[in-house]
Structure 1
């Protein structure tokens, strides 16, 4: 084991402890659905107005407003918060005048079971790796039971899912050349 790992303490244990220190409680993460803005306004203007209005409620981790194919805004968007009571504070601002439009804020909670299962990915390479990994199903590592199956990513998050699923590399279009 390298670095600052304490003798007898696994790297997994150290990472779990670190995560618990820095990760906010699920009850401190929330989101609201917003509507009421003019969809002909610029994306930046609406986002800026929403950030300004809700900045006193808690830490805003994301403002998501979808854009339609005709380059107009969707009629609703999402504001993601981190902070105790942030969503409740934001809901109290529903109906506020935003310079010609009234913001409507509705609760948009995460599903109750959204973060009840933690998961980690482990890569095992070698001959008969799949067969051996499936054989681990139901066994334990310390107090953690191993369940081998397909799991999804966590569903309580501080940014809109489109930020997590976006391709990290821009897709380049092939240039057309004329044949001479």
Structure 2
């Protein structure tokens, strides 16, 4: 009797699932576990639009693998605090990377290709800084060619010629509004 081997793609996904200490699949008939979307009342979380699906910060790893499959490269990333260590999944052919935290949730998305569609962001890699400012106005903060729209969870990197080189998407920051109605704290 001839047995067909498991596909390399499936083996890679299973190996990553075991390596990261998560179940490789959800039992049939069980509801999929998905955290509530990371968003503020003012700004919904932006994400990668792939077909009819959107991958946002906070999504669980099995859902990500179900949409884009295993990555081209996996790198362990060290933080100042061990509790903040994460794994970077790079999808070179698609032009993006995902940062996966120790809870197996997407904590950040780095978009480096104009061909990647991003939901909730009206500009793309390759557009100009002026396009960004025209769409969203002044950023919450600017530092070294990075426009930080932390309330929206979007960080825009520009080069010396003011072209957008990458977008980093994360959960939108919490905007605390004082009871007296003044401007939000932290901006």
Whether TM exceeds 0.5 here: the answer is no
Question: RCO greater where, 1 or 2, for CA within 8 Å and sep 6 or more?
Answer: 1
Report which of the two has the higher share of strand. Answer: 2
TM-score range, shorter chain: under 0.3
Instruction: Calculate the TM-score normalised by the size of structure 1.
Output: 0.22
Report which of the two has the higher share of helix. Answer: 1
Larger gyration radius, structure 1 or structure 2: 1
Instruction: Calculate the TM-score normalised by the size of structure 2.
Output: 0.21
